[in-house]
Amino acid sequence: MLYRVMMLTAGLVAAALLAPAEGVAQNTSPGKWSPQVAIRGQDAVKERKPAPRRNINGMWNAQRLGNQSGGVQLKPNNGRPENALPYTPYGLELYKKHKPLEGLDSVSPAFNNDPRTKCEPLGFPRWNHYDVGVQIFQDEHKIAMLYNYDNRWRLIWTDGRSLPTVVDGGVEADGEFRDTRWFGYSVGKWLDDYTLEVVTVGIMPDDRAWLDNTGRPISEQARITERFRRIDSETLEWSETIDDPKIYTRPWETMKLPMTLQDSGIDQITRYCSPSEIERYNTTFGDAASGK
């Protein structure tokens, strides 16, 4: 049974990758290998034409934002009063237990407990806040988002299915219980011809994933709302709001990124988290620094 599920999943991804979005022509001319580059902003300014209808297909990048090491874009973790988060008592207690490598309360490598440094998956929506470059493919049923870091992919369903309901330990989808997942369960709908709203629930619990590099927490009760607004042929605005009553007393906006369309023929560098390299780093720096 597990093998059949794995094969079905692989088939879905292949379909998303191979099927062009409506109105996007197949490239019949042969491509060629360009020099490898990390996803960064383009210096060249392209002609900005009107945005295509209901289409966010392409390779997108938030220019020179980096991996948001100081925290999410709109609320960096820098101690300023305007960037203080509306923690619940439990949320604040949990935050104080996190020992990040970046941000206001960062610690030395020997003492951090960031799941990332053990090569655990980043979780959602932390992938949105880490190396903000993403390849998007779409067809009439779904959108596939391919993240550069660790070569991960995510599906957003746009075929009219209902959003699962959050229940204890997971979600209920059409009467069936399902476990929490690293990317949760995402359902999107077009608000108009140029704005896609995506809601995600059923993410991993607060002991498995962080919100950002500075140790802000997030829980399995979170409801994450994203909006993708196609401004013109070369620009996409990507925003995100978190509603997590277990961790925060009210919803708050984490990011509002202007994304630029990249040349689809550029070969990207993909960075993987390697357990053996992490072990060598900890042996040389982390454990050595702690006196172990």
pLDDT of 103 higher than 70: yes
Per-residue model confidence (pLDDT) at position 43:
46
Domain span at residue 180? 48-290
Q: What is the pTM of this model?
A: 0.83
- Tens digits of per-residue pLDDT, 139-170? 999 999 999 888 899 999 999 999 999 999 99
| Strands (DSSP E) found in 220-274 | 223-232, 235-243, 252-261
- Is 95 inside any structural domain? yes
- Is 37 inside any structural domain? no
- Is 186 inside any structural domain? yes
Q: What are phi and psi of 49, to 5 degrees?
A: -100, 170
Q: Which two tokens stand for residue 127?
A: 């992938």
Hunting for tokens 């997942």 — which residue is that?
A: 181
How many domains are there within the chain?
1
Arithmetic mean of pLDDT, 2-28: 44
Alpha-carbon distance 17 to 145, whole Å? 10
Report residue 128's pLDDT band, with 50, 70 and 90 as the boundaries.
Answer: very high
Q: Which helix (H) or strand (E) holds 14?
A: helix 2-18
- Is 263 inside any structural domain? yes
- Is 265 inside any structural domain? yes
Characterize the bridge pairing of strands 142-147 and 152-157.
antiparallel
- Is 38 inside any structural domain? no
Q: Edge-to-edge, what's the strand order for the sheet holding 176-179?
A: 165-167, 170-173, 176-179
- Is 261 inside any structural domain? yes
Which is more confidently placed, 35 or 87? 87
Mean pLDDT of the chain: 86
pLDDT of 56 higher than 60: yes
- Is 13 inside any structural domain? no
